[in-house]
A and B are shown apart, each in its own frame.
Chain A
């Protein structure tokens, strides 16, 4: 069975602080994909990043960075110099390559509030 755990239910920071959102996953497969999605207050789900299980290189995109560590089954997301517009619920998700398997398994989400 696959499972995604986001232990932080809610995080509140002040603008310009750095914040890290944790994601821990469980899977028995060797080939899998990890995703982060953002759900702003308007409600839509926005794709942020995808990472496959063979690529443990960290990735940086502007103020966003992701740290994938297979040894600890973690795929953490860091926002540097947070801004009010970063306030949203962030979901980590897991999927397999095989289309016959179940679709995305989502974590329960972390609500990030960035105070001005």
Chain B
């Protein structure tokens, strides 16, 4: 079975450029999460969708970050304009059912902003 698929795996870009990270959740899962992992802050939830609707975006750092989920099989996380402090590993995870079920993570996107 296909797991959560993220693209790209690595992204290196210059400050000020727009960055778009993509995620395809596991088929049938109704919740999707975007996390960011840094050495300083660990794993932080950025935003959480349930049935394609954003439920909790309190973790989105600022207006430069935006996320969409136009359908059940695709989500994007966009950073515009990007800054060096956005460098991190960004994970997408999906979950079926309620909070009792485990989240399944993609392999992450390692983002470097120069």
Query: Which residues does chain B contribute within 8 Å of A107, judged by CB atoms?
Result: 42
Query: Which residues does chain B contribute within 8 Å of A33, judged by CB atoms?
Result: 99-100
| 86-114 of chain B: CB within 8 A of chain A | 89, 91, 93, 98-108, 110
What's the tally of chain A residues with a CB closer than 8 Å to chain B?
A: 26
| 95-115 of chain A: CB within 8 A of chain B | 95-109
In the complex the two chains form, what is the Cα distance from A44 to B105 in whole Å? 7
In the complex the two chains form, what is the Cα distance from A109 to B43 in whole Å? 9
Query: Which residues does chain A contribute within 8 Å of B99, judged by CB atoms?
Result: 33, 95-99, 101, 103
What's the tally of chain B residues with a CB closer than 8 Å to chain A?
A: 25
Beta-carbon contact of B102 and A43 below 8 Å: no
Query: Which residues does chain B contribute within 8 Å of A106, judged by CB atoms?
Result: 42-43
B41 CB, nearest partner CB in chain A, Å: 9
Q: Which residue in A47, A91, A103 is a CB contact (below 8 Å) of B56? A: A103
- Interface membership of B55, Cβ < 8 A: yes
**Looking across the interface, which residue of chain B has its beta carbon closest to that of A44?**
B107
Beta-carbon contact of A103 and B102 below 8 Å: no
Residues of A within 8 A of B (CB): 33, 35, 37, 43-47, 50, 52, 91, 95-109
Identify 17 residue pairs between A and B in the complex whose beta-carbon atoms are under 8 Å apart, listed by A's number.
A33-B100, A43-B89, A44-B108, A45-B105, A47-B104, A50-B100, A95-B100, A98-B98, A99-B55, A100-B55, A102-B58, A103-B48, A103-B103, A104-B33, A104-B45, A104-B103, A109-B42
A45-B91, A98-B99 known; 16 other A-B pairs, CB under 8 Å?
A: A33-B100, A35-B102, A35-B103, A37-B105, A43-B110, A44-B105, A44-B108, A45-B108, A47-B104, A95-B99, A97-B98, A97-B99, A100-B55, A103-B31, A103-B99, A107-B42
